[in-house]
Amino acid sequence: MRVTAVVFDMDGVLIDSEPVWERVRRDYIAEKGGRWLPDTQKRLMGMSTGEWSRYLAGELGVGEAPEQVADEVIERMAAHYDREVPLLPGAVAAVQRMSRNWPLGLASSSPRALIDTVLGRTGLIEFFEVTFSTEEVDRGKPAPDVYVAAAGFLRRKTTECAAVEDSSNGLRAAHAAGMRVIAAPRPEYPLDPDARALAAAVVDGLDDLTPALVAGRES
Catalytic residue numbers? 9, 11
As to burial, measured by CB atoms within 10 angstroms (0-12 exposed, 13-18 middle, 19+ buried), residue 210 is middle
Instruction: Determine the Cα angle at 188 with ends 141 and 119, to 5°.
Output: 55
How far apart, in whole angstroms, are the C-alpha atoms of residue 194 and residue 152? Answer: 27
Give phi and psi for 181, each to the nearest 5.
-110, 125
SS3 197: coil
Reported as type and span, the H/E element at residue 31 is helix 18-31
Q: Compute CA distances 182 → 14, 31, 130, 131, whole Å.
A: 14, 38, 19, 19
